[in-house]
Structure 1
Amino acid sequence: MSGSNVIAEFLSGITGGSLKVVDLTNRLSSTTPTLRLPDPFANLIDFSLEEVSAYNEPGPYWKHHNIHTGEHIGTHIDAPVHWASGREGLDVSEILPERLIGPACVIDKTAEVEADADFLLEVDDILAWEAEHGELPANSWLLLRTGWEKFSDDQDAFLNADENGPHTPGISAACAQWLAEERPISGFGVETVGIDAGSAGGMDPAFPAHYYLLGADKYGLTSLQNLGDLPATGAMIVVSPLPIVGGTGSPTRVFAITGA
Protein backbone atom coordinates (compact mmCIF):
# COMPACT_ATOMS: atom_id res chain seq x y z
CA MET A 1 0.00 0.00 0.00
CA SER A 2 1.37 3.43 -0.91
CA GLY A 3 2.06 6.09 1.69
CA SER A 4 -0.84 8.24 0.51
CA ASN A 5 -3.22 5.28 0.78
CA VAL A 6 -2.01 4.50 4.30
CA ILE A 7 -2.64 8.11 5.35
CA ALA A 8 -6.06 8.15 3.68
CA GLU A 9 -7.04 4.95 5.47
CA PHE A 10 -5.79 6.36 8.78
CA LEU A 11 -7.79 9.58 8.39
CA SER A 12 -10.84 7.64 7.31
CA GLY A 13 -10.55 5.58 10.47
CA ILE A 14 -10.66 8.73 12.59
CA THR A 15 -13.54 10.39 10.76
CA GLY A 16 -15.42 7.13 10.39
CA GLY A 17 -15.09 6.15 14.03
CA SER A 18 -13.05 2.95 13.73
CA LEU A 19 -10.16 4.81 15.37
CA LYS A 20 -10.43 6.88 18.53
CA VAL A 21 -8.33 9.87 19.61
CA VAL A 22 -7.67 9.85 23.37
CA ASP A 23 -6.39 13.03 25.02
CA LEU A 24 -3.74 12.11 27.59
CA THR A 25 -3.20 15.71 28.71
CA ASN A 26 -4.15 17.37 32.00
CA ARG A 27 -5.83 20.77 31.57
CA LEU A 28 -3.41 23.65 32.12
CA SER A 29 -4.43 26.50 34.42
CA SER A 30 -3.24 28.40 37.46
CA THR A 31 -4.57 25.57 39.66
CA THR A 32 -2.87 22.69 37.82
CA PRO A 33 -0.82 20.75 40.42
CA THR A 34 2.91 21.44 40.10
CA LEU A 35 6.14 20.29 41.69
CA ARG A 36 7.22 21.94 44.93
CA LEU A 37 10.94 21.66 45.68
CA PRO A 38 12.07 22.19 49.28
CA ASP A 39 14.40 24.98 50.33
CA PRO A 40 17.01 25.95 49.28
CA PHE A 41 16.02 24.87 45.75
CA ALA A 42 14.21 27.30 43.45
CA ASN A 43 10.80 26.51 41.98
CA LEU A 44 9.36 27.35 38.59
CA ILE A 45 6.49 29.80 38.34
CA ASP A 46 3.00 28.36 37.99
CA PHE A 47 0.98 28.85 34.83
CA SER A 48 -1.00 32.07 34.52
CA LEU A 49 -2.71 34.20 31.86
CA GLU A 50 -2.29 37.95 31.58
CA GLU A 51 -5.02 39.72 29.66
CA VAL A 52 -3.73 42.07 26.95
CA SER A 53 -7.07 42.93 25.36
CA ALA A 54 -10.65 41.67 25.48
CA TYR A 55 -12.72 43.29 22.73
CA ASN A 56 -11.94 46.67 24.28
CA GLU A 57 -9.73 49.73 23.71
CA PRO A 58 -6.39 47.83 23.66
CA GLY A 59 -7.89 45.52 21.03
CA PRO A 60 -11.49 46.21 20.04
CA TYR A 61 -12.03 43.19 17.77
CA TRP A 62 -10.03 40.52 19.55
CA LYS A 63 -9.07 38.97 22.85
CA HIS A 64 -5.56 37.75 23.61
CA HIS A 65 -3.23 37.03 26.51
CA ASN A 66 0.37 36.71 27.51
CA ILE A 67 1.13 33.39 29.12
CA HIS A 68 3.52 32.97 32.04
CA THR A 69 4.76 29.50 32.90
CA GLY A 70 7.71 27.36 33.76
CA GLU A 71 8.80 24.74 31.23
CA HIS A 72 7.98 21.79 33.51
CA ILE A 73 4.40 22.65 34.45
CA GLY A 74 1.40 20.35 34.05
CA THR A 75 1.62 17.65 31.41
CA HIS A 76 5.09 18.26 30.03
CA ILE A 77 8.09 16.68 28.35
CA ASP A 78 11.60 16.47 29.79
CA ALA A 79 14.34 16.94 27.19
CA PRO A 80 17.86 15.55 27.76
CA VAL A 81 19.35 18.96 28.67
CA HIS A 82 16.96 19.10 31.63
CA TRP A 83 19.36 16.89 33.60
CA ALA A 84 23.08 17.05 34.30
CA SER A 85 23.58 13.62 32.72
CA GLY A 86 22.11 14.96 29.47
CA ARG A 87 23.68 18.41 29.48
CA GLU A 88 25.39 17.75 26.14
CA GLY A 89 22.20 16.40 24.63
CA LEU A 90 19.19 17.85 22.84
CA ASP A 91 17.02 20.73 23.89
CA VAL A 92 13.28 20.38 23.34
CA SER A 93 13.38 22.11 19.96
CA GLU A 94 15.96 19.60 18.70
CA ILE A 95 14.04 16.40 19.46
CA LEU A 96 13.35 14.69 16.15
CA PRO A 97 9.61 14.63 15.33
CA GLU A 98 9.77 10.92 14.56
CA ARG A 99 10.83 10.30 18.17
CA LEU A 100 7.58 11.98 19.30
CA ILE A 101 5.28 9.52 17.52
CA GLY A 102 5.40 5.81 18.28
CA PRO A 103 3.81 2.76 19.88
CA ALA A 104 2.20 3.28 23.27
CA CYS A 105 2.96 0.47 25.73
CA VAL A 106 0.87 0.66 28.91
CA ILE A 107 1.85 -1.19 32.06
CA ASP A 108 -0.91 -1.11 34.67
CA LYS A 109 0.08 -1.02 38.33
CA THR A 110 -3.01 0.63 39.77
CA ALA A 111 -3.69 -2.20 42.22
CA GLU A 112 -0.13 -2.13 43.55
CA VAL A 113 -0.21 1.66 43.97
CA GLU A 114 -3.58 1.51 45.71
CA ALA A 115 -1.87 -0.68 48.31
CA ASP A 116 1.40 1.29 48.43
CA ALA A 117 1.79 4.89 47.25
CA ASP A 118 5.58 4.41 47.25
CA PHE A 119 5.40 1.54 44.72
CA LEU A 120 8.44 1.22 42.45
CA LEU A 121 8.40 -0.40 39.03
CA GLU A 122 11.09 -3.07 38.74
CA VAL A 123 12.75 -4.86 35.83
CA ASP A 124 10.81 -8.03 36.62
CA ASP A 125 7.54 -6.12 36.21
CA ILE A 126 8.51 -5.12 32.68
CA LEU A 127 9.80 -8.58 31.83
CA ALA A 128 6.49 -10.06 32.99
CA TRP A 129 4.64 -7.54 30.80
CA GLU A 130 6.88 -8.44 27.85
CA ALA A 131 6.24 -12.14 28.36
CA GLU A 132 2.57 -11.42 27.66
CA HIS A 133 2.76 -8.61 25.12
CA GLY A 134 6.17 -8.85 23.46
CA GLU A 135 9.37 -6.88 23.91
CA LEU A 136 9.13 -3.10 24.06
CA PRO A 137 9.53 -2.02 20.42
CA ALA A 138 11.84 0.60 19.00
CA ASN A 139 10.63 4.18 19.34
CA SER A 140 7.91 3.18 21.80
CA TRP A 141 6.82 5.04 24.91
CA LEU A 142 6.43 3.03 28.10
CA LEU A 143 3.47 4.50 30.01
CA LEU A 144 3.08 3.64 33.70
CA ARG A 145 -0.56 3.58 34.73
CA THR A 146 -0.97 3.99 38.50
CA GLY A 147 -4.38 5.59 38.99
CA TRP A 148 -2.67 8.78 40.18
CA GLU A 149 -4.67 10.86 37.69
CA LYS A 150 -7.53 10.85 40.21
CA PHE A 151 -5.55 13.43 42.20
CA SER A 152 -4.82 15.69 39.22
CA ASP A 153 -7.06 18.53 40.44
CA ASP A 154 -5.77 18.50 44.04
CA GLN A 155 -2.29 19.91 44.68
CA ASP A 156 -1.86 18.37 48.13
CA ALA A 157 -3.13 14.90 47.18
CA PHE A 158 -1.18 14.95 43.93
CA LEU A 159 2.15 15.60 45.70
CA ASN A 160 1.17 13.48 48.74
CA ALA A 161 3.94 14.85 50.96
CA ASP A 162 4.45 14.55 54.71
CA GLU A 163 7.34 15.20 57.09
CA ASN A 164 9.28 12.42 55.35
CA GLY A 165 8.82 13.85 51.87
CA PRO A 166 6.51 13.02 48.95
CA HIS A 167 4.96 9.59 48.53
CA THR A 168 4.24 8.95 44.85
CA PRO A 169 4.90 5.88 42.69
CA GLY A 170 7.63 5.60 40.11
CA ILE A 171 10.54 3.50 38.95
CA SER A 172 13.49 1.97 40.80
CA ALA A 173 17.07 2.99 40.04
CA ALA A 174 17.87 -0.46 38.67
CA CYS A 175 14.82 -0.42 36.41
CA ALA A 176 15.56 3.10 35.14
CA GLN A 177 19.11 2.06 34.23
CA TRP A 178 17.89 -1.12 32.54
CA LEU A 179 15.31 0.77 30.45
CA ALA A 180 17.93 3.33 29.43
CA GLU A 181 20.47 0.70 28.41
CA GLU A 182 18.49 -2.37 27.33
CA ARG A 183 15.34 -1.19 25.56
CA PRO A 184 15.11 1.10 22.47
CA ILE A 185 12.25 3.23 23.79
CA SER A 186 11.82 6.91 23.02
CA GLY A 187 10.49 7.76 26.44
CA PHE A 188 8.79 6.97 29.72
CA GLY A 189 5.47 8.50 30.77
CA VAL A 190 3.74 8.74 34.15
CA GLU A 191 0.58 10.14 35.74
CA THR A 192 2.50 11.79 38.57
CA VAL A 193 4.21 15.19 38.78
CA GLY A 194 7.60 13.87 37.61
CA ILE A 195 9.07 10.78 36.00
CA ASP A 196 10.79 9.86 39.27
CA ALA A 197 9.10 8.47 42.36
CA GLY A 198 8.54 10.69 45.36
CA SER A 199 11.31 8.83 47.19
CA ALA A 200 13.82 9.24 44.33
CA GLY A 201 15.85 11.98 46.02
CA GLY A 202 17.21 9.33 48.38
CA MET A 203 18.11 6.80 45.68
CA ASP A 204 21.54 6.15 44.18
CA PRO A 205 21.87 8.03 41.93
CA ALA A 206 19.36 10.61 43.06
CA PHE A 207 16.38 10.87 40.69
CA PRO A 208 17.47 7.88 38.59
CA ALA A 209 14.74 8.12 35.95
CA HIS A 210 15.99 11.59 35.06
CA TYR A 211 19.63 10.57 35.39
CA TYR A 212 19.57 7.41 33.29
CA LEU A 213 16.84 8.11 30.73
CA LEU A 214 17.66 11.71 29.88
CA GLY A 215 21.34 10.84 29.83
CA ALA A 216 20.55 8.17 27.21
CA ASP A 217 18.57 10.51 24.90
CA LYS A 218 15.24 9.16 26.12
CA TYR A 219 12.48 11.52 27.17
CA GLY A 220 10.03 11.90 30.02
CA LEU A 221 6.30 12.68 30.06
CA THR A 222 4.43 13.63 33.21
CA SER A 223 0.91 14.25 34.52
CA LEU A 224 -0.71 12.00 31.93
CA GLN A 225 -4.45 11.29 31.94
CA ASN A 226 -6.79 8.60 30.61
CA LEU A 227 -4.24 5.80 30.34
CA GLY A 228 -7.07 3.48 31.33
CA ASP A 229 -8.63 4.13 27.92
CA LEU A 230 -5.64 2.55 26.16
CA PRO A 231 -4.88 -1.13 25.57
CA ALA A 232 -1.59 -2.55 26.79
CA THR A 233 -0.37 -2.49 23.18
CA GLY A 234 -1.76 -1.44 19.83
CA ALA A 235 -2.19 2.31 20.39
CA MET A 236 -0.05 5.10 18.95
CA ILE A 237 1.13 8.08 20.98
CA VAL A 238 1.62 11.61 19.62
CA VAL A 239 3.68 14.00 21.78
CA SER A 240 3.48 17.69 20.82
CA PRO A 241 5.72 20.03 22.81
CA LEU A 242 6.48 23.63 21.92
CA PRO A 243 9.83 23.72 20.06
CA ILE A 244 11.46 26.12 22.52
CA VAL A 245 15.01 26.91 21.41
CA GLY A 246 17.26 26.13 24.35
CA GLY A 247 14.29 24.73 26.25
CA THR A 248 14.78 21.95 28.78
CA GLY A 249 11.15 20.94 28.43
CA SER A 250 7.72 22.23 27.51
CA PRO A 251 4.08 21.94 28.48
CA THR A 252 2.85 19.36 26.01
CA ARG A 253 -0.37 18.14 24.42
CA VAL A 254 -0.29 14.35 24.26
CA PHE A 255 -2.70 12.20 22.23
CA ALA A 256 -3.14 8.51 21.64
CA ILE A 257 -4.80 6.86 18.67
CA THR A 258 -6.46 3.54 19.39
CA GLY A 259 -9.16 1.29 18.07
CA ALA A 260 -12.69 2.46 18.88
Structure 2
Amino acid sequence: MSLLPGFAAALATGGIEVVDLTAPLSADTPVIALPAEFAQTARFELEELSRYDDRGPAWYWNNFRTGEHTGTHFDAPNHWVTGRDGEDVALVPPRRLIGPAAVLDFSAEAGADPDFLLEVEHVRKWEADHGPLPEGGWLLYRTGWDARSASQEEYLNADETGAHTPGISPECARWLAEEAPVIGVGVETVGTDAGAAHSFDPPFPCHAALMGSGKYGLTQLQNLAQLPPTGAVLIAAPLPIVHGSGSPARVLALVERG
Protein backbone atom coordinates (compact mmCIF):
# COMPACT_ATOMS: atom_id res chain seq x y z
CA MET A 1 0.00 0.00 0.00
CA SER A 2 1.37 3.45 -0.89
CA LEU A 3 2.12 5.93 1.85
CA LEU A 4 -0.89 8.30 1.93
CA PRO A 5 -3.62 5.66 1.44
CA GLY A 6 -1.99 3.62 4.21
CA PHE A 7 -1.97 6.67 6.45
CA ALA A 8 -5.65 7.36 5.74
CA ALA A 9 -6.53 3.74 6.43
CA ALA A 10 -4.71 3.86 9.75
CA LEU A 11 -6.66 6.98 10.73
CA ALA A 12 -9.95 5.34 9.77
CA THR A 13 -9.26 2.12 11.70
CA GLY A 14 -7.76 3.75 14.79
CA GLY A 15 -4.24 2.58 14.12
CA ILE A 16 -3.34 6.27 14.31
CA GLU A 17 -5.09 8.29 17.02
CA VAL A 18 -5.54 12.05 16.74
CA VAL A 19 -5.00 13.70 20.13
CA ASP A 20 -6.18 17.30 20.44
CA LEU A 21 -3.65 19.37 22.37
CA THR A 22 -5.70 22.57 22.09
CA ALA A 23 -7.43 24.34 24.97
CA PRO A 24 -11.04 25.45 24.31
CA LEU A 25 -11.11 29.15 23.38
CA SER A 26 -13.70 31.27 25.18
CA ALA A 27 -14.13 34.33 27.34
CA ASP A 28 -12.94 32.19 30.27
CA THR A 29 -9.60 31.26 28.66
CA PRO A 30 -6.75 32.46 30.91
CA VAL A 31 -4.51 35.22 29.55
CA ILE A 32 -1.09 36.43 30.59
CA ALA A 33 -1.03 39.45 32.91
CA LEU A 34 1.77 41.98 32.35
CA PRO A 35 2.70 44.80 34.71
CA ALA A 36 0.17 47.63 34.57
CA GLU A 37 2.45 49.99 32.64
CA PHE A 38 2.39 47.68 29.58
CA ALA A 39 -0.38 47.01 27.05
CA GLN A 40 -2.44 43.91 27.84
CA THR A 41 -3.57 41.20 25.47
CA ALA A 42 -7.30 40.87 24.82
CA ARG A 43 -9.45 38.11 26.19
CA PHE A 44 -11.48 36.18 23.65
CA GLU A 45 -14.82 37.83 22.80
CA LEU A 46 -17.64 36.48 20.61
CA GLU A 47 -20.17 38.89 19.08
CA GLU A 48 -23.29 37.30 17.64
CA LEU A 49 -24.32 38.56 14.21
CA SER A 50 -27.36 36.38 13.62
CA ARG A 51 -28.79 33.11 14.88
CA TYR A 52 -31.57 31.92 12.55
CA ASP A 53 -33.51 35.14 13.15
CA ASP A 54 -34.42 38.40 11.40
CA ARG A 55 -30.72 39.34 11.24
CA GLY A 56 -30.14 36.22 9.14
CA PRO A 57 -32.98 33.70 9.00
CA ALA A 58 -31.03 30.65 7.82
CA TRP A 59 -27.62 31.10 9.39
CA TYR A 60 -25.72 31.53 12.62
CA TRP A 61 -22.41 33.45 12.69
CA ASN A 62 -20.28 35.69 14.84
CA ASN A 63 -17.53 38.21 14.88
CA PHE A 64 -14.73 37.54 17.33
CA ARG A 65 -11.97 39.55 18.93
CA THR A 66 -8.91 38.13 20.58
CA GLY A 67 -5.21 38.62 21.09
CA GLU A 68 -2.70 36.82 18.89
CA HIS A 69 -1.30 35.24 22.04
CA THR A 70 -4.57 34.24 23.74
CA GLY A 71 -5.27 30.57 24.41
CA THR A 72 -3.33 27.79 22.73
CA HIS A 73 -1.16 29.78 20.34
CA PHE A 74 1.90 29.88 18.11
CA ASP A 75 4.79 32.31 18.66
CA ALA A 76 6.52 33.43 15.45
CA PRO A 77 10.12 34.73 15.47
CA ASN A 78 9.07 38.38 15.08
CA HIS A 79 7.18 38.17 18.40
CA TRP A 80 10.36 39.12 20.28
CA VAL A 81 12.84 41.92 19.76
CA THR A 82 15.62 39.38 19.21
CA GLY A 83 13.71 38.09 16.17
CA ARG A 84 12.33 41.40 14.95
CA ASP A 85 13.68 40.81 11.43
CA GLY A 86 12.48 37.19 11.36
CA GLU A 87 9.37 35.52 10.00
CA ASP A 88 5.91 36.72 10.83
CA VAL A 89 3.35 33.98 11.39
CA ALA A 90 2.15 34.14 7.77
CA LEU A 91 5.67 33.47 6.49
CA VAL A 92 6.32 30.31 8.52
CA PRO A 93 6.84 27.56 5.91
CA PRO A 94 3.96 25.04 6.01
CA ARG A 95 6.49 22.21 6.13
CA ARG A 96 7.62 23.45 9.54
CA LEU A 97 4.10 23.16 10.95
CA ILE A 98 4.31 19.35 10.98
CA GLY A 99 7.07 17.46 12.74
CA PRO A 100 8.03 14.78 15.25
CA ALA A 101 7.58 15.44 18.95
CA ALA A 102 9.59 14.55 22.02
CA VAL A 103 7.56 14.72 25.25
CA LEU A 104 9.58 15.42 28.40
CA ASP A 105 7.50 14.71 31.51
CA PHE A 106 8.43 16.80 34.53
CA SER A 107 4.95 16.97 35.99
CA ALA A 108 6.07 15.45 39.31
CA GLU A 109 8.82 18.04 39.72
CA ALA A 110 6.52 20.93 38.78
CA GLY A 111 3.86 19.57 41.13
CA ALA A 112 6.34 19.73 43.99
CA ASP A 113 7.80 23.11 42.96
CA PRO A 114 5.77 25.51 40.80
CA ASP A 115 8.98 27.43 40.01
CA PHE A 116 10.69 24.30 38.65
CA LEU A 117 13.04 25.01 35.73
CA LEU A 118 14.06 22.63 32.98
CA GLU A 119 17.87 22.40 32.75
CA VAL A 120 20.18 21.04 30.05
CA GLU A 121 21.03 18.13 32.34
CA HIS A 122 17.36 17.15 32.47
CA VAL A 123 17.20 17.05 28.68
CA ARG A 124 20.45 15.08 28.46
CA LYS A 125 19.12 12.54 30.94
CA TRP A 126 15.92 12.20 28.88
CA GLU A 127 18.02 11.69 25.74
CA ALA A 128 20.02 8.96 27.48
CA ASP A 129 16.75 7.13 28.16
CA HIS A 130 14.86 7.83 24.92
CA GLY A 131 17.33 8.88 22.23
CA PRO A 132 18.18 12.29 20.78
CA LEU A 133 15.70 15.11 20.36
CA PRO A 134 14.12 14.94 16.88
CA GLU A 135 15.71 16.84 14.03
CA GLY A 136 13.23 19.44 12.79
CA GLY A 137 10.77 18.52 15.52
CA TRP A 138 9.40 19.83 18.79
CA LEU A 139 10.27 19.54 22.45
CA LEU A 140 6.99 19.33 24.37
CA TYR A 141 7.48 20.12 28.05
CA ARG A 142 4.90 18.42 30.24
CA THR A 143 4.39 19.95 33.70
CA GLY A 144 0.77 19.02 34.46
CA TRP A 145 -0.10 22.72 34.38
CA ASP A 146 -3.01 22.13 31.98
CA ALA A 147 -5.01 20.85 34.98
CA ARG A 148 -5.17 24.47 36.20
CA SER A 149 -6.42 25.99 32.94
CA ALA A 150 -10.05 26.41 34.02
CA SER A 151 -9.06 29.20 36.43
CA GLN A 152 -7.14 32.41 35.66
CA GLU A 153 -5.93 32.58 39.26
CA GLU A 154 -4.75 28.97 39.51
CA TYR A 155 -3.19 29.07 36.05
CA LEU A 156 -1.08 32.19 36.67
CA ASN A 157 -0.48 31.21 40.33
CA ALA A 158 0.55 34.72 41.30
CA ASP A 159 1.23 36.27 44.69
CA GLU A 160 2.80 39.54 45.81
CA THR A 161 6.12 38.48 44.25
CA GLY A 162 4.62 37.67 40.86
CA ALA A 163 3.57 34.55 38.96
CA HIS A 164 4.90 31.13 39.92
CA THR A 165 4.77 28.71 37.00
CA PRO A 166 7.36 26.22 35.71
CA GLY A 167 9.61 27.07 32.80
CA ILE A 168 13.06 26.77 31.29
CA SER A 169 16.36 28.04 32.69
CA PRO A 170 18.35 30.67 30.75
CA GLU A 171 21.12 28.17 30.00
CA CYS A 172 18.68 25.53 28.76
CA ALA A 173 16.77 28.08 26.66
CA ARG A 174 20.00 29.13 24.94
CA TRP A 175 20.98 25.50 24.36
CA LEU A 176 17.60 24.62 22.89
CA ALA A 177 17.75 27.64 20.60
CA GLU A 178 21.34 27.40 19.46
CA GLU A 179 22.38 23.76 19.73
CA ALA A 180 19.37 21.45 19.92
CA PRO A 181 17.95 20.13 16.62
CA VAL A 182 14.32 21.03 17.42
CA ILE A 183 12.51 23.91 15.69
CA GLY A 184 10.41 24.84 18.69
CA VAL A 185 9.23 24.28 22.24
CA GLY A 186 5.67 23.61 23.39
CA VAL A 187 4.44 24.10 26.97
CA GLU A 188 1.26 23.79 29.04
CA THR A 189 1.69 27.17 30.75
CA VAL A 190 0.48 30.61 29.61
CA GLY A 191 3.82 31.33 27.91
CA THR A 192 7.02 29.50 27.07
CA ASP A 193 8.86 31.24 29.90
CA ALA A 194 8.58 30.62 33.62
CA GLY A 195 6.35 32.87 35.69
CA ALA A 196 9.42 34.43 37.32
CA ALA A 197 11.31 34.87 34.02
CA HIS A 198 11.10 38.67 34.17
CA SER A 199 13.81 38.48 36.84
CA PHE A 200 16.12 36.12 34.93
CA ASP A 201 19.35 37.11 33.17
CA PRO A 202 18.46 37.68 30.41
CA PRO A 203 14.76 38.32 31.08
CA PHE A 204 12.35 35.96 29.37
CA PRO A 205 15.19 33.78 28.08
CA CYS A 206 13.02 31.27 26.24
CA HIS A 207 11.35 33.96 24.15
CA ALA A 208 14.63 35.79 23.57
CA ALA A 209 16.64 32.72 22.58
CA LEU A 210 14.03 30.85 20.51
CA MET A 211 12.73 33.86 18.61
CA GLY A 212 16.25 35.16 18.08
CA SER A 213 17.26 31.82 16.53
CA GLY A 214 14.27 31.71 14.17
CA LYS A 215 12.54 29.03 16.21
CA TYR A 216 8.95 28.85 17.46
CA GLY A 217 6.86 28.49 20.58
CA LEU A 218 3.56 26.77 21.35
CA THR A 219 1.77 27.56 24.59
CA GLN A 220 -1.25 26.53 26.65
CA LEU A 221 -1.17 22.97 25.33
CA GLN A 222 -3.33 20.28 26.89
CA ASN A 223 -3.39 16.47 27.00
CA LEU A 224 0.37 15.94 26.76
CA ALA A 225 -0.18 13.09 29.23
CA GLN A 226 -1.78 11.15 26.36
CA LEU A 227 1.39 11.22 24.27
CA PRO A 228 4.34 8.80 24.39
CA PRO A 229 7.85 10.16 25.05
CA THR A 230 8.72 9.64 21.37
CA GLY A 231 6.93 8.70 18.18
CA ALA A 232 4.12 11.27 18.03
CA VAL A 233 3.84 13.69 15.12
CA LEU A 234 2.77 17.25 15.92
CA ILE A 235 0.58 19.42 13.67
CA ALA A 236 0.45 23.12 14.59
CA ALA A 237 -2.01 25.19 12.54
CA PRO A 238 -1.89 28.95 13.26
CA LEU A 239 -3.80 31.46 11.16
CA PRO A 240 -1.52 33.04 8.51
CA ILE A 241 -1.95 36.60 9.82
CA VAL A 242 0.07 38.94 7.61
CA HIS A 243 2.57 40.82 9.81
CA GLY A 244 1.24 38.84 12.79
CA SER A 245 3.53 37.93 15.67
CA GLY A 246 1.56 34.78 16.41
CA SER A 247 -1.88 33.28 16.27
CA PRO A 248 -4.30 31.09 18.17
CA ALA A 249 -3.71 27.61 16.81
CA ARG A 250 -5.31 24.19 16.62
CA VAL A 251 -2.56 21.81 17.71
CA LEU A 252 -2.96 18.09 17.08
CA ALA A 253 -0.77 15.07 17.70
CA LEU A 254 -0.83 11.85 15.69
CA VAL A 255 -0.04 8.79 17.79
CA GLU A 256 0.36 5.26 16.49
CA ARG A 257 -1.68 2.79 18.53
CA GLY A 258 -1.35 -0.93 18.23
Normalising by the residue count of structure 2, what TM-score does the alignment of the two structures yield?
Answer: 0.98
Identity of aligned residues (%): 55
Query: Partner residue of 1:89?
Result: 86
Report the AA paired with residue 225 of structure 2.
Answer: G
2:4 alignment counterpart: 7
Question: Quick one: distance in 2 between partners of 1:115 and 1:208?
Answer: 23
Instruction: Tell whether the 8 Å contact from 2:115 to 2:165 is kept in structure 1 after alignment.
Output: yes
Pairs aligned (count): 257
The aligned amino acid for 1:15 is A
Look up the match of 2:21: 24
1:244 equivalent in alignment to 2:234: no
The root-mean-square deviation of aligned C-alpha atoms, in Å, is: 0.8
1:148, distance to aligned residue in structure 2 (A):
0.4
SS in structure 1 opposite 2:172?
A: helix
In 2: Cα distance, 1:182 partner to 1:132 partner: 19
Distance 1:100 1:17 in 2: 23
Q: What is the match of residue 157 of structure 1? A: 154
Contact 2:101 2:134 (8 Å CA) reproduced: no
Between the aligned partners of 1:71 and 1:47, the Cα distance in structure 2 is: 10
Residue 235 of structure 1, aligned match among 232, 236, 256: 232
Q: Is the 2:98–2:236 contact (alpha carbons within 8 Å) kept by the matching residues of 1? A: yes
Structure 2 segments unaligned to the other structure (5+ residues): none
Say which SS state the counterpart of residue 22 (structure 1) adopts: strand
User: What residue ranges of structure 1 are gaps of 5+ in the alignment?
Assistant: none
Give the TM-score of the pair, scaled to structure 1. Answer: 0.98
Q: Identify the match of residue 117 of structure 1 among 114, 121, 138.
A: 114
1:205 equivalent in structure 2? 202
1:216 is aligned to 2:213? yes
Deviations 1:137-166 (A, max 9, x none): 211100000000100111100000000000
Q: Give 1:58 deviation, angstroms.
A: 1.7
Within-5 A mapping of 1:133-212: 133-212=130-209
**Residue 210 of structure 1 aligns to a residue in which SS?**
helix
Deviation of 1:38 (Å): 1.4
List, as ranges, runs of 4+ consecutive aligned residues in structure 1 with deviation greater than 4 Å: none
Contact 1:239 1:253 (8 Å CA) reproduced: yes
1:130 corresponding residue in structure 2: 127
**1:80 counterpart residue number:** 77
Counterpart in the other structure of 1:66: 63
SS in 2 for 1:67: strand
Q: Is the 8 A contact 2:232 2:256 kept in 1?
A: yes
The alpha carbon displacement at 1:258 in A equals 0.3
| CA distance, structure 1, for counterparts of residue 42 and residue 132 of structure 2 | 40
In the aligned structure 2, how far is the partner of 1:219 from the partner of 1:33?
Answer: 21
* CA distance in 2 between partners of 1:253 and 1:137 (Å): 22
SS in 2 for 1:40: coil
Q: CA deviation at 1:199?
A: 0.8
